[in-house]
Amino acid sequence: MSNVHRVAVLVGSLRKASINRKLAQTLAELAPPSLQLEIVEIGDLPLYNEDIDVTPPPAPYSAFRDSLKQADAVLFVTPEYNRSVPAPMKNAIDVGSRPYGQSAFSGKPAAVISASPGAIGGFGANHHLRQSLVFLDMPVLQQPESYLGGAGSFFDEAGQPSDSIKGFLQKFIDTFARWVEIHNRT
């Protein structure tokens, strides 16, 4: 039996009832036993500023970095704002990748899933985020591509996923589990 791999989940939308948060929660429920997904909150991180990232760094920076360091992988779940990632997601990447040369992301397998009520499903955000992950030296899952358009219809009023999306999410999280296993062999 394989080990249980801890996955830090970063959700780009700060709204408690956001589509992307619901996706992250659903993926955590659908995850196979080999993955333990935990949402790591990013909304309270101060904007990255090298002037305040001194010894000791701000407590939120340290707590966030520690959460990432303890994870075996990272799952990015994001909406698209202006053809890019939301500011909190970019800030989380900046905080986690600093100080230079001490990135908490380096080498961790990752996956990106983007969702939007619009037709293109966060395609721009998804690819913009992937560009940063290449620099951060994160092997990123390539297939299945996950740009989920029309996401406003994915959940009922109780927050339960519709059958129309559940099968795809199961395939995505199962594939990610294999990706994490491959990249965490010692």
Average confidence (pLDDT) over 139-163: 90
**Superfamily of domain 5-183, CATH level 4:** Flavodoxin domain (3.40.50.360)
Burial 138-155 (b: 16+ CB within 10 A, else e): bbbbeeeebbbeebeebb
Tallying the residues shown for the chain, one arrives at 186
Q: What is the pLDDT of residue 1?
A: 42
User: What is the C-alpha separation between 112 and 123, in angstroms, rounded?
Assistant: 11
For the ranges 126-130, 151-155, 174-178, the lowest mean pLDDT is seen at 151-155
Model pTM score: 0.95
Per the listing, tokens 């990249």 go with: 183
Q: What is the pLDDT of residue 151?
A: 87
Q: What is the pLDDT of residue 157?
A: 86
With a pLDDT cut of 70, the percent of the chain lying above it is 98
Beta-bridged to residue 67, according to DSSP, are none
Phi, psi dihedrals of residue 87, rounded to the nearest 5°: -55, -40
Domain ranges of the chain: 5-183
Phi, psi dihedrals of residue 164, rounded to the nearest 5°: -65, -25
Query: What are the tens digits of pLDDT across the range 164-184?
Result: 899 999 999 999 999 999 998
Q: What is the pLDDT of residue 2?
A: 54
**pLDDT tier at 120, thresholds 50, 70, 90:** confident
Q: What is the pLDDT of residue 11?
A: 98
Query: What are the tens digits of pLDDT across the range 13-64?
Result: 999 889 999 999 999 999 999 999 999 999 999 999 999 999 899 999 999 9
